[in-house]
Amino acid sequence: MQRLLLPPLKTLMGSRSVRLLVPRAAPRTQCGCSCVIRCPLRPGQYSTISEVALQSGRETVSLPSKAAERVVGRWLLVCSGTVAGAVILGGVTRLTESGLSMVDWHLIKEMKPPTSQEEWETEFQKYQQFPEFKILNHNMTLAEFKFIWYMEYSHRMWGRVVGLAYILPAAYFWRKGWLNRGMKGRVLALCTLVCFQGLLGWYMVKSGLEEKPNSHDIPRVSQYRLAAHLGSALVLYCASLWTSLSLLLPQHKLPETRQLLWLRRFAHGTAGLVFLTALSGAFVAGLDAGLVYNSFPKMGESWIPEDLFTFSPMLRNVFENPTMVQFDHRVLGITSVTAITALYFLSRRIPLPRRTKMAAVTLLALAYIQAGLGISTLLMYVPTPLAATHQSGSLALLSGALWLMNELRRVPK
């Protein structure tokens, strides 16, 4: 982060565009003789390259310059990268069934892992009191417990890194006056969402620690809470990346034709479809639905399996029936690839800048790579490395969709 932020900071401090406001030289008028009379300075008359200054009884301070915007944009780009890392690490934690190994949540206390044999045994005894050990891992050794504990510990600690990456620089930029009114609102919303994300993560874990009488099913977290946790992380990632791209990439002045308007709307709809497909993956993971039918393109021997509507009422099947959940994820994935393909061919019919064309090609390539990863994960019975790569691919696909949307965004008049 130092390498990304310090050079622009030096540029910012040395730039003429961010100098304190100085009085503009008063206009000179000729009086008919050889003397030159300098007119008095009118109140509020200043010389500045940045935006209009805020004036009050206190010192006059200029609003953020382009150099400051680049610093903020790079900071949010780093933040979106940390969120992507948290999503990927969370997926691996889920795939290794490590998420329920830490049965307590303390913001500061749990930052120090057990160091002695006695502390590890105490932590292991806590885990043994909960359903996952009693039903699934009753033969687990202390060494095996350490592995899943460290997986969950890494995920939680990375979450704290994400929080610090947002909150500390945000406070600094706010104090320095590098955030305009609109950006302050965005940054405040992002920092609030980070805190909410941490609380939602613990709320999700609690659902897997609860005792369920007369149930011998594999203990797992609620798929609804898992989807909420992933969904809020995806919203945080998309909002951070979108804001970063808006600050760092210069806008194209595209002709506002009817074709461009339709392409822009279609790009927005496609991005929403990609987001919904990624979110549906949380229900697949939460119900282990990837292990129900491991064939493609058919599900078993038929295109539409017979057990799609086994739950009552019918709406429960969409969120609680593993067969229906996998079927929905397949349909959404195929629809997303089809929409992205159509979007690419539509973009070919409009004269677009080179960077915009590159964004469309990149999105198309990512879509087919992601589809290939998904099919391979299914056919190979969800191996952890391949499944984690598939989950990472959803973030890459979202990034590509946001990049293209940013390229096509309307230039404000």
**For residue 17, pLDDT beyond 90:** no
Give the pLDDT mean for 338-344: 98
Rg (CA), the chain: 27
For position 413, what pLDDT does the model report? 61
**For residue 10, pLDDT beyond 60:** no
Domain count, the chain: 2
Domain membership of residue 122 (yes or no) is: yes
Q: Answer yes or no: do 144 and 172 share one domain.
A: yes
For position 211, what pLDDT does the model report? 81
**For residue 3, pLDDT beyond 60:** no
* Model confidence pLDDT, tens digit, residues 36-73: 434 444 433 333 333 333 333 333 344 458 888 999 99
**For residue 28, pLDDT beyond 80:** no
Give the pLDDT mean for 221-227: 95
Q: Answer yes or no: do 87 and 165 share one domain.
A: yes
DSSP code string of 370-382: HHHHHHHHHHTT-
CB atoms within 10 A of CB 109: 8
Give the pLDDT mean for 254-279: 94
Domain membership of residue 363 (yes or no) is: yes
Task: Using alpha carbons, list the distances in angstroms from residue 267 to 264, 325, 371, 404.
Answer: 5, 26, 19, 7
Q: Answer yes or no: do 277 and 229 share one domain.
A: no
Q: Answer yes or no: do 162 and 243 share one domain.
A: yes
The structure tokens listed for 361 are: 């090609």
Give the pLDDT mean for 119-133: 94
For position 5, what pLDDT does the model report? 46
* Model confidence pLDDT, tens digit, residues 366-385: 999 999 999 999 999 999 99
Angle at 141 between CA 117 and CA 382, to 5 degrees: 130
Domain membership of residue 116 (yes or no) is: yes
Domain membership of residue 159 (yes or no) is: yes
Q: Which of 8-22, 104-118, 243-257, 259-273 has the lowest mean pLDDT?
A: 8-22
Q: Answer yes or no: do 292 and 336 share one domain.
A: yes
For position 109, what pLDDT does the model report? 80
Q: Answer yes or no: do 311 and 372 share one domain.
A: yes
Tracing tokens 């609030």 back to the chain, one arrives at 192
Q: Answer yes or no: do 329 and 370 share one domain.
A: yes
Question: What is the overall mean pLDDT for the chain?
Answer: 85
> Is the pTM of the predicted complex or chain greater than 0.85?
no
For position 214, what pLDDT does the model report? 63
Domain membership of residue 120 (yes or no) is: yes
For position 57, what pLDDT does the model report? 35
Domain that holds residue 396: 252-413
* Model confidence pLDDT, tens digit, residues 81-99: 999 999 999 999 999 999 9
Q: Answer yes or no: do 183 and 199 share one domain.
A: yes
For position 386, what pLDDT does the model report? 95
Q: Answer yes or no: do 279 and 225 share one domain.
A: no
Domain membership of residue 40 (yes or no) is: no
For position 44, what pLDDT does the model report? 38
What share of the chain has pLDDT > 70, as a percent? Answer: 83
Domain membership of residue 176 (yes or no) is: yes
Give the pLDDT mean for 361-368: 97
Gap between the Cα atoms of 157 and 125, Å rounded = 22
Give the pLDDT mean for 321-350: 96
Tracing tokens 């999503």 back to the chain, one arrives at 87
Give the pLDDT mean for 132-142: 91
Q: Answer yes or no: do 128 and 114 share one domain.
A: yes
* Model confidence pLDDT, tens digit, residues 98-119: 999 999 988 888 789 999 999 9
For position 9, what pLDDT does the model report? 43
Domain membership of residue 48 (yes or no) is: no
Q: Answer yes or no: do 238 and 284 share one domain.
A: no
DSSP three-state, residue 138: coil
Q: Answer yes or no: do 371 and 410 share one domain.
A: yes
Gap between the Cα atoms of 413 and 400, Å rounded = 26
